[in-house]
A and B are shown apart, each in its own frame.
Chain A
Amino acid sequence: MPETKKSSVFSQKICRFCNEDQSKVYIDFYDVKALKPLISERGKIVPSRISGNCAKCQRILTRAIKKARSIALLPFAVEH
């Protein structure tokens, strides 16, 4: 089996932001609930190869996360 355990958390390789009707994607930086699953324990942005997001949505997401960080909604780094 080539599939490893790692992919079990983000099993589906489907972009979670793309709409079926191909309309414009909006990701709000203040929507912490939507952004939380896409940052790691340490506060890093989860790469698209793991989350399965398409490149376009990943770019929009990255911008949203960086904005959220600058206004203290998301951490820059989580210290252990």
Chain B
Amino acid sequence: MRSYQSVLILKPDIDEPRVAEALEKIGEFIKSNGGACLKVENWGKKRLAYRVKKNRFGIYLNLYHTLESAKVVELETKYKLYDLIIKYMVVRLDDDELERALGKETEAEGEAKDEDKDGKTEKKAEVKAEEKTEEKTEEKAEVKAEE
């Protein structure tokens, strides 16, 4: 029995009940194959770094679970055939990595909010900087004209 981390990207346009439904389905599959779901994280809707099956956004789910190593292939085919999942990754975890992951509280949710705020402030700063440079160039042009 080994421990794994599954990161799943679901379609962005599904609502929360369907996300819960999908989670339940996956959890049941893991249990029925002798594994155990240790921790489930929902990272929420995120912008993807590149397009995946024509989607720009995706709902990220993060599962920590144990599973028999022979059953991982089955789990992956299950992910592949499940139409709500657009991308998946199963990573094997060592014991210390798993302990570390389980020890962490849900920091990911807080980070997501922070990122949004940062993005907004950055945009504002950029706009301001652009305005300033424009003003400066205009001033210079005026000075030159006067000369």
**B83-139 CB contacts (< 8 Å) to partner A:** 87, 89, 91, 96-97, 100, 108, 111, 115
- B48: nearest chain-A partner, CB-CB: A72
- A residues near B52, Cβ cutoff 8 Å: 72
Q: Given A67-B91, A72-B50, answer yes or no on A33-B7 (Cβ-Cβ < 8 Å).
A: no
- A residues near B48, Cβ cutoff 8 Å: 72
What is the total number of residues of chain A having a CB less than 8 Å from a CB of chain B? 15
How many A-B pairs with Cβ below 8 Å? 33
Inter-subunit contact B89/A71 (CB<8 Å): yes
Q: How far is the CA of A64 from the CA of B68 in the complex (A)?
A: 25
Interface of A is mostly: loop
B65: min CB distance to chain A, Å:
16
Q: Give 9 CB contacts A-B under 8 Å.
A: A24-B96, A26-B100, A29-B91, A67-B91, A71-B7, A72-B50, A72-B87, A73-B46, A73-B49
| A interface list, Cβ under 8 A from B | 24, 26, 29-30, 32-33, 67, 69-76
Please provide the 4 A-B residue pairs with the shortest distance between their CB atoms, ordered closest to farther: A75-B49, A72-B48, A71-B89, A72-B49
